[in-house]
Amino acid sequence: MQLDLSGRTALITGSTQGIGYAIAQGLARAGARVAINGRTPERVDEAVRRIQHDVPGAEAVAAAADVTTEAGAAGLLEALPQVDVLINNLGIFGAQPALEITDDDWRRYFEVNVLAAVRLTRSYLPGMVERGWGRIQYIASDSAVVIPAEMIHYGVSKTALLAASRGFAKEAAGTGVTVNSVIAGPTHTAGVEGFVYVLVDPSVPWDEAQRRFMREHRPQSLLQRLIEPEEIANMVVYLSSPLASATTGGAVRVDGGYVDSILP
Question: One-letter amino acid identity for 127?
Answer: G
Res. 181 pLDDT band, cuts 50 70 90:
very high
Helices (H), 200-253: 206-217, 229-240
> Is 258 part of the annotated catalytic residue set?
no
Res. 167 pLDDT band, cuts 50 70 90:
very high
Indicate the domain borders of the chain. 9-185+228-254, 188-226
Work out the angle at residue 122's Cα, subtended by the Cα atoms of residues 116 and 126, and round it to the nearest 5 degrees.
150
Residue 231 and residue 228: Cα distance in Å, rounded? 5
CATH class of the structural domain 9-185+228-254 = alpha beta
Q: What is the mean pLDDT of the chain?
A: 96
Please, are residues 221 and 185 in contact by the beta-carbon 8 Å criterion? yes
Edge-first strand listing for the sheet containing 33-38: 60-64, 33-38, 9-12, 85-88, 134-141, 177-184, 251-254
- Annotated catalytic residue: which of 21, 138, 154, 258? 154
Per-residue model confidence as pLDDT tens digits over 15-39? 999 999 999 999 999 999 999 999 9
pTM of the model: 0.95
Query: What pLDDT was estimated at residue 190?
Result: 87
Q: How many CB atoms lie within 10 A of CB 128?
A: 24
Residue 30 and residue 24: Cα distance in Å, rounded? 10
- Percentage of the chain beyond pLDDT 90 is 93
In the predicted model, is pLDDT for residue 264 greater than 90? no
Window from 50-59, 84-93, 183-192, 225-234 with minimum mean pLDDT: 183-192
Instruction: List residues bridging with 61 in a β-sheet.
Output: 35
